[in-house]
């Protein structure tokens, strides 16, 4: 079995895929609106602090668990102790629940790409967004289409599918992003947006901000649903995990900052409010594009960028379940992809209908879409990350000195893995459940 497992063609291929997983809607859609709702630069300071210290630990632990066990998610837990199988299964389950809402946003993106090319004159994007998200038929089609695109790449396997998608989409993503940043920085009063991002008002820092920042950091680094574990299981033995973890964190943060530098100057230039929430890139940004020359094309370029980022993340989410299905049930990749396509469709369709047909239906007071987002980001991902820390730290005896030369850093890592980070994650869970 071990010999038949695929592995990355090179260290670069792994890094690109892992960065492709991390950089996604979390960076371009979620990060700017969460930062906008939490006071700009002060939030950024807290976020950077957490992502560079606390999040480093579970990221290394997840990669290490994959690399040492060389098994898919459930098998990795099982190899530590057969009783842990159920805990391992929580990872693909979390992934499936994330995909059910993530791919709905993917569907919105496809719709906006068509909109950019269709050159239609829309004056009220808030109205357009609300009407569109209520339209059951086109939402379902676009969501399924987005899912289908991700499944197609995944079905082709590690080298021909996942590596290929990342090799093509990630550079395309970076080029479009740079182009949009340059356009945005040339707008009048662009410096106001930069000040908002980088001049912190420390009086805005509050405890809730730490929780929001930590939840966002886990989500954006793809920690707590098995994606990094599964990608880590395809790493060849001689490659350093800590260096990879630094590169992933650094690149992910860089892309989030670049997304901010693209969005906030434009928002301030047009005198708009940065705290409009989840609609920031679907309502506020198109409104801005509508006022500038070649705005339609820029709109299409922006949403193609978003699509590229979302597809490479979507592929990594799919891979967790695909690896589990193929390796545990001895199934072909294509067949596994077909089953997973059916399962996710069954969950994503109710999520797409949350804004229209099923808007009256609620789970614990939330729409299906909001419930899936909440249950995964605030509960299941911290819970899975907690288990990974405990299992690698206490049962697998993973130690800092295995990866880092510096004794002090190794010691800090050990304390972080066994005590500090699990405690912080439990705190996050507690507040999430309250």
**321 near ligand PHE, judged by CB under 6 A:** no
> Please, what is the minimum distance in Å from the beta carbon of residue 389 to ligand PHE?
17
CB-wise, 149 or 404, nearer to ligand PHE?
149
> Please, what is the minimum distance in Å from the beta carbon of residue 292 to ligand PHE?
27
For residue 101, what are the CA distances in angstroms to 40, 47, 417?
26, 24, 30
**142 near ligand PHE, judged by CB under 6 A:** no
**219 near ligand PHE, judged by CB under 6 A:** yes
> Please, what is the minimum distance in Å from the beta carbon of residue 100 to ligand PHE?
13
> Please, what is the minimum distance in Å from the beta carbon of residue 419 to ligand PHE?
25
Taking a C-beta distance cutoff of 8 angstroms, is the pair 368, 36 a contact? no
**106 near ligand PHE, judged by CB under 6 A:** no
> Please, what is the minimum distance in Å from the beta carbon of residue 309 to ligand PHE?
7
> Please, what is the minimum distance in Å from the beta carbon of residue 316 to ligand PHE?
5
The closest alpha carbon to 69, from 162, 1, 161, 154, belongs to 1
**424 near ligand PHE, judged by CB under 6 A:** no
Buried/exposed code over 77-103 (b: 16+ C-beta within 10 A; e: otherwise): bbbbeeebeebbbbbbbbbbbbbbbbb
Binding region for ligand PHE (CB under 6 A) out of 16-24, 65-73, 192-200, 410-418: 16-24
Taking a C-beta distance cutoff of 8 angstroms, is the pair 52, 302 a contact? no
Residues 326-365 touching ligand PHE, rule: CB under 6 A, are none
**166 near ligand PHE, judged by CB under 6 A:** no
Binding residue for ligand PHE, selected from 14, 19, 26, 76, defined by CB under 6 A: 26
CA angle 334, 337, 340 (to 5 degrees): 155
**96 near ligand PHE, judged by CB under 6 A:** no
Backbone φ and ψ for 273, nearest 5 degrees, come out as -90, 135
Buried/exposed code over 349-363 (b: 16+ C-beta within 10 A; e: otherwise): bbbbbbbbebeeeee
How far apart (Å, rounded) are the C-alpha atoms in residues 384 and 140? 30
**225 near ligand PHE, judged by CB under 6 A:** yes
**222 near ligand PHE, judged by CB under 6 A:** yes
> Please, what is the minimum distance in Å from the beta carbon of residue 112 to ligand PHE?
17
Structure tokens at 419: 């005590």
How far apart (Å, rounded) are the C-alpha atoms in residues 2 and 69? 10
Query: For binding to ligand PHE (CB under 6 A), which residues are involved?
Result: 21-22, 24-27, 98, 219-220, 222, 225, 227, 313, 316-317
């Amino acid at each position: 079995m071990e010999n038949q497992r695929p592995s990355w063609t090179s260290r670069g291929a792994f890094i690109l895929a892992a960065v492709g997983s991390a950089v996604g809607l979390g960076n371009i859609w979620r990060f700017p609106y969460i930062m906008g709702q939490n006071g700009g630069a002060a939030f950024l300071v807290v976020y950077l602090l957490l992502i560079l210290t606390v999040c480093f630990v579970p990221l290394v632990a997840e990669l290490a668990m994959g690399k040492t066990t060389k098994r898919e998610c459930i098998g990795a837990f099982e190899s530590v102790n057969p009783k842990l199988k159920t805990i391992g299964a929580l990872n693909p389950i979390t992934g499936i629940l994330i995909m059910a809402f993530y791919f709905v946003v993917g569907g919105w993106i496809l719709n906006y790409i068509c909109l950019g090319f269709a050159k239609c004159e829309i004056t009220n994007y808030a109205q357009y967004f609300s009407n569109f998200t209520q339209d059951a038929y086109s939402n379902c089609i676009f969501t399924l289409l987005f899912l289908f695109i991700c499944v197609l790449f995944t079905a082709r396997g590690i080298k021909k599918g996942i590596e290929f998608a990342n090799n093509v989409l990630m550079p395309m993503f970076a080029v479009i992003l740079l182009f949009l940043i340059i356009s945005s920085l040339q707008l009048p009063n662009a410096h106001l947006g930069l000040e908002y991002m980088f001049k912190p008002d420390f009086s805005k820092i509050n405890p809730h901000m730490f929780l929001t920042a930590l939840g966002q950091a886990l989500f954006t680094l793809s920690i707590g649903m098995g994606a990094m574990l599964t990608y880590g299981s395809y790493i060849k033995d001689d490659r350093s995990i800590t260096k990879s973890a630094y590169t992933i964190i650094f690149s992910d943060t860089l892309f989030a900052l670049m997304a901010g530098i693209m969005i906030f100057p434009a928002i301030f230039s047009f005198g708009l409010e940065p705290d409009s929430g989840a609609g920031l890139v679907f309502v506020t940004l198109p409104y801005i594009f509508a006022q500038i020359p070649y705005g339609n094309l820029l709109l299409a370029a922006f949403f193609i960028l978003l699509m590229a980022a979302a597809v490479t993340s979507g592929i990594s989410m799919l891979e967790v379940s695909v690896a589990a299905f193929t390796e545990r049930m001895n199934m072909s990749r294509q067949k596994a992809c077909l089953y997973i396509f059916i399962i996710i469709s069954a969950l994503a369709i109710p999520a797409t209908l949350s804004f229209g047909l099923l808007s009256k239906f609620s789970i614990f007071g939330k729409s299906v879409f909001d419930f899936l987002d909440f249950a995964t980001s605030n509960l299941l991902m911290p819970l899975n990350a907690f288990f990974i820390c405990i299992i690698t730290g206490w049962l697998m005896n993973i130690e800092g000195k295995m990866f880092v030369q510096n004794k002090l850093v190794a010691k800090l890592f050990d304390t972080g893995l066994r005590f500090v980070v699990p405690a912080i994650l439990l705190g996050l869970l507690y507040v999430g459940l309250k």
